[in-house]
Amino acid sequence: PQFQFVERQNVVLSIDLDKTTEVDLSKAITRAKLVLEPLGIMLTTYSSYADTSLTPGRYVLFWELKMKGSNDVPKLDAKIMEECCGIVEESFDFTYKSLRKAGVISALELRVVKHGTFDELMDFYVSKGASISQYKPPCCLKSEEAVKLLNSGMVGTFFSPKTMF
């Protein structure tokens, strides 16, 4: 038998006219984590949401990081983490970059959470009726409660360089 992995094709993040899909986001994060791997830092899981509570709105990423071979939270170098933010933004499409340059979208924010925070997120969704055997961390959060839960595990926050575009 042959298997083909199929991901949801719908838009997961949007502030204005921008449309970022799960595939776009996954590719961008895959590029950014290449900066971390030589440092022995592993991205174990991630999620995101479009924060429109501020004007202009921004994309927010949640990353759970650990050191290779342990569950220790790595020492977070601001310059490296900001570089990751920049790589993610550079990977997005022309529309996103144009809106970012015009100030319609604010700088991407990366929130690093402590190890185990995404386990708590799973417990939250299971308590709401999700099947534990089929649970997968959501690519994009729609629940304010879920965002609050991830925020409670935050150990660092970083932004893309302001002069990026």
Residue 6 in domain: no
What span, in angstroms and rounded, lies between the C-alpha atoms of 165 and 153?
31
Residue 5 in domain: no
pLDDT in tens, 89-117: 999 999 999 999 999 999 999 999 999 99
Residue 56 in domain: yes
* pLDDT top residue among 141 and 163: 141
Residue 3 in domain: no
Mean predicted lDDT score pLDDT of the chain: 91
Q: What is the pTM of this model?
A: 0.89
pLDDT at 165: 60
pLDDT at 163: 65
Beta strands in 52-128 (DSSP E): 58-67, 109-113
Residue numbers of the domain that contains 45: 11-159
Residue 23: pLDDT over 60: yes
Residue 1: pLDDT over 80: no
Residue 164 in domain: no
Residue 16: pLDDT over 80: yes
Residue 53: pLDDT over 90: yes
Residue 2 in domain: no
In three-state form (DSSP H/G/I as H, E/B as E, the rest C), the secondary structure along 70-81 is: CCCCCCCCHHHH
What span, in angstroms and rounded, lies between the C-alpha atoms of 162 and 129?
41
Residue 4 in domain: no
From the number of C-beta atoms within 10 Å of its C-beta (0-12, 13-18, 19+), residue 108 rates as buried
pLDDT in tens, 106-161: 999 999 999 999 999 999 999 989 888 888 899 999 999 999 999 999 999 999 98
What span, in angstroms and rounded, lies between the C-alpha atoms of 136 and 68?
22
User: What's the structural domain count of the chain?
Assistant: 1
